[in-house]
């Protein structure tokens, strides 16, 4: 029965898969773009020290810290769309670019650094974005070459063009949809966080949003050699099946809200559901549990 349902999923949503699969690029194809496409831009999401030691040629360094702030005591909140646009502009990013974003790829969950940047690019309507599967660790494992040091990028002509309200949602949206059967909350944290066994001081209460299912962002990759790559669609379907969704269409008909503590891990689930799961409506709860735990909203 399980195999039959997965087969039905592939038949019904094959066209959607073809559309969304453009969000992932292999290291081989990324190298081809580097060598042949003058309009490609690489974004490195690791820390400054790692970037200085080695990065893909002409890549720019943009991290989550560059695009977020602590607001009303809540850490990791996205800056205003205009401020985010300014960061991308100052790093030479434009909407005409094909943008390839990569993380280290050295741990099971560090890809979320790249997906966070992709989410915020999409948030300000920069959509031609790709995650390089396996990250910089896979790139160097394959001896694809890199450069060291830091060079300042020339600013682009990028301008503010509004924001996409289907990428990030706020606590008001969450509150209004807690009892909505057509909305599914997905907790991207590990099980200790989900069951409230953590001691994270960023949270004033511990547990999860009522009715949320738990899909740890770290379970969505697999180790190959010394690097981590994303799971495939069939592997994702198996995880979803184990979470109680024996009928894939049931999940695809819901709006999925991914959350964690500060929106970073949540972006990993957002990306996987959107680009591998071909889900038409998946969003990130920006304030996540750092904000939710300080509210009077119910907790499990």
Q: Nearest 5°: phi and psi at 132?
A: -80, 110
Q: Domain ends where: 141, 158, 176? A: 141
Residue 214 lies in a domain: yes
CATH of the domain at 223: 3.40.250.10
Residue 244 lies in a domain: yes
Using alpha carbons only, give the angle 27, 276, 186 rounded to the nearest 5 degrees: 125
Clarify whether residues 137 and 174 are in a common domain. Answer: no
Clarify whether residues 59 and 179 are in a common domain. Answer: no
* Tens-digit pLDDT profile for residues 55-70: 999 999 999 999 999 9
Torsion angle of C-alpha atoms 95, 64, 44, 38, degrees rounded to 10? 10
Name the H helices within the chain. Answer: 2-12, 14-20, 27-36, 48-53, 64-67, 81-90, 111-123, 135-141, 171-176, 191-194, 233-242, 248-252, 264-271, 288-292
- The total number of structural domains that make up the chain: 2
Residue 282 lies in a domain: yes
Residue 9 lies in a domain: yes
* Tens-digit pLDDT profile for residues 185-198: 999 999 999 999 99
Clarify whether residues 120 and 228 are in a common domain. Answer: no
Residue 184 lies in a domain: yes
Quote helix, strand, coil % in the chain, to nearest 5: 40, 20, 40
Q: Residue 100: give the domain boundaries.
A: 2-141
Clarify whether residues 212 and 249 are in a common domain. Answer: yes
Clarify whether residues 183 and 284 are in a common domain. Answer: yes
> Going residue by residue through the chain (300 aa), what tens digit of pLDDT does each one get?
444 444 444 434 433 433 333 599 999 999 999 999 999 999 999 999 999 999 999 999 999 999 999 999 999 999 999 999 999 999 999 999 999 999 999 999 999 999 999 999 999 999 999 999 999 999 999 999 999 998 888 999 999 999 999 999 999 999 999 999 999 999 999 999 999 999 999 999 999 999 999 999 999 999 999 999 999 999 999 999 999 888 877 888 999 999 999 999 999 999 999 999 989 999 999 999 999 999 999 999
**Which one, of 286, 218, 211, 293, lies nearest residue 254 by Cα?**
211
H-helix or E-strand spanning residue 42: strand 40-44
Clarify whether residues 137 and 172 are in a common domain. Answer: no
Clarify whether residues 189 and 128 are in a common domain. Answer: no
Residue 154 lies in a domain: no
Query: Which pTM value belongs to this model?
Result: 0.91
Residue 267 lies in a domain: yes
Strands 221-224 and 227-230: antiparallel
**Which one, of 115, 117, 109, lies nearest residue 222 by Cα?**
109
Clarify whether residues 112 and 191 are in a common domain. Answer: no
Clarify whether residues 101 and 205 are in a common domain. Answer: no
Residue 260 lies in a domain: yes
Clarify whether residues 114 and 202 are in a common domain. Answer: no
């Amino acid at each position: 029965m399980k195999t039959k349902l997965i087969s039905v999923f592939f038949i019904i949503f094959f066209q959607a898969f073809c559309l969304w699969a453009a969000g992932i690029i292999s290291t081989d194809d990324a190298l081809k773009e580097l060598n042949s496409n003058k309009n490609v831009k690489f974004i490195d999401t690791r820390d400054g020290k790692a970037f200085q030691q080695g990065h893909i040629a002409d890549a720019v360094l943009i991290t989550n810290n560059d695009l977020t702030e602590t607001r009303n005591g809540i850490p990791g909140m996205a800056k205003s769309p205009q401020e985010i646009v300014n960061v991308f502009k100052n790093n030479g990013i434009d909407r005409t670019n094909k943008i390839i974003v990569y993380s280290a790829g050295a741990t099971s969950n560090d890809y979320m650094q790249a997906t966070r940047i992709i989410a915020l690019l999409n948030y300000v309507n920069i959509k031609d974005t790709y995650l390089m599967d396996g990250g910089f660790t896979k790139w160097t494992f394959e001896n694809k070459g890199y450069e060291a040091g830091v060079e300042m990028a020339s600013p682009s002509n990028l301008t503010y063009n509004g924001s996409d309200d289907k990428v990030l949602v706020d606590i008001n949206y969450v509150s209004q949809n807690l009892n909505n059967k057509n909305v599914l909350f997905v907790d991207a944290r590990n099980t200790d966080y989900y069951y409230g066994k953590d001691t994270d001081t960023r949270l004033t209460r511990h547990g999860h949003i009522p009715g949320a299912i738990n899909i740890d962002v770290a379970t969505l990759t697999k180790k190959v050699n010394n690097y981590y790559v994303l799971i495939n669609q069939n592997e994702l379907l198996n995880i979803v099946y184990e979470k109680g969704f024996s009928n894939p269409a049931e999940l695809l008909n819901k709006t999925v809200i991914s959350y964690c503590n500060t929106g970073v891990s949540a972006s990993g689930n957002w990306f996987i559901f959107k680009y591998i799961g071909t889900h038409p409506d998946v969003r990130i709860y920006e304030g996540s549990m750092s904000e939710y735990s300080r509210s009077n909203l119910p907790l499990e």
